[in-house]
Amino acid sequence: MLEVHRTHRAKILNYSQVEDSLNRHGWSASKLWNVANYHSRQVWEETREIPGHEELKNDLKGHDKYKGLHSQSSQRVLEELAEAFNSWYSSDDERDNPPGYRKQNYYDQQGRRVHEEHPLSTVTWKQNGIRHDTKNNRVRLSKGANHKEHPKAWEYILVEYETRPGVEVENLQQVRAVYDQTKERWELHLVCKEEIETPDAPGTETAGIDLGISNFAAVAYSTEDADLYPGNRLKQDGYYFPKEIANCDDSSGDRATRLHHKWSERRTHFFHSLAKHIVEKCIERSVGRINVGDLEGIREDENAKSKNWGRHGNLDLHGWPFDRFTSILEYKAKVEGIEVMEVSERDTSKTCCVCGREDDSQRVERGLYVCESCDAAFNADVNGAENIRLDIDEESNSESTGQLSGDRSTGWLAQPGVYLYDLSCGFQPQREVVDSKP
- Percentage of the chain beyond pLDDT 70 is 79
Of 62-71, 124-133, 355-364, 414-423, the poorest mean pLDDT is in 355-364
Give the pLDDT confidence score for residue 19 in this predicted structure.
96
User: Rounded distance, CA 281 to CA 323, Å?
Assistant: 21
Share of the chain above pLDDT 90, in %: 44
CB atoms within 10 A of CB 184: 8
**384, burial (CB in 10 Å: exposed 0-12, middle 13-18, buried 19+):** buried
Mean pLDDT confidence for 316-321: 51
Taking residues 305-316, report their average pLDDT: 46
Q: What is the pLDDT of residues 111-125, one digit of tens each?
A: 555 445 678 899 999
Lowest mean pLDDT among 21-25, 67-71, 430-434: 430-434
Question: Looking at residue 271, what is its pLDDT?
Answer: 93
The burial of 177, by beta-carbon neighbours within 10 Å (0-12 exposed, 13-18 middle, 19 or more buried), is given as buried
Segment 341-349 shows an average pLDDT of: 83
| More confident position, 233 or 162 | 162
Backbone angles phi, psi at 177, to 5 degrees: -95, 115
DSSP E strands: which ranges in 231-338?
287-293
> Which sequence spans correspond to the domains of the chain?
2-13+121-196, 23-103, 205-397+405-429
Tens of pLDDT, residue by residue over 248-273, are 877 667 777 778 778 888 888 999 99
User: What is the rounded CA–CA span in Å between residue 438 and residue 435?
Assistant: 8
- Is pLDDT of 292 > 80? yes
Secondary structure letter of residue 309 according to DSSP? -
Could you tell me which residues come within 8 angstroms of residue 284 by beta carbon, excluding any fewer than 6 positions away? none
pLDDT higher than 50, residue 200: yes
Residue predicted with more confidence, 367 or 328: 328
| Best CATH choice for the domain 205-397+405-429 from the list 3.30.420.140, 3.40.800.10, 3.40.50.920, 3.90.700.10 | 3.30.420.140
Rounded Cα distance, 303 and 307, in Å: 10
Phi, psi of 221 (to 5 degrees): -115, 155
Lowest mean pLDDT among 108-112, 134-138, 201-205: 108-112
Q: For residues 255 and 249, give the distance between their C-alpha atoms in angstroms, rounded to a whole number.
A: 9
The answer to whether the CB of 424 falls within 8 A of the CB of 381 is no
The reported pLDDT for the residue numbered 363 is: 56
Between 191-195, 204-208, 245-249, 326-330, the lowest mean confidence (pLDDT) is in: 245-249
Q: How large is the average pLDDT for residues 304-331? A: 63
Residue 434 above 70 pLDDT? no
pLDDT at 93 over 70: no
- 356 Rama class: left (phi>0) / alpha (psi -120 to 50) / beta: left
Position 366 pLDDT exceeds 80 = no
- Are 327 and 340 in contact by the 8 Å Cβ rule? The answer is no
Computed over every residue of the chain, the mean pLDDT equals 82
Taking residues 7-20, what's their average pLDDT? 96
Give 11 or 309, the one with higher predicted confidence: 11
pLDDT: is 93 or 285 the higher one? Answer: 285
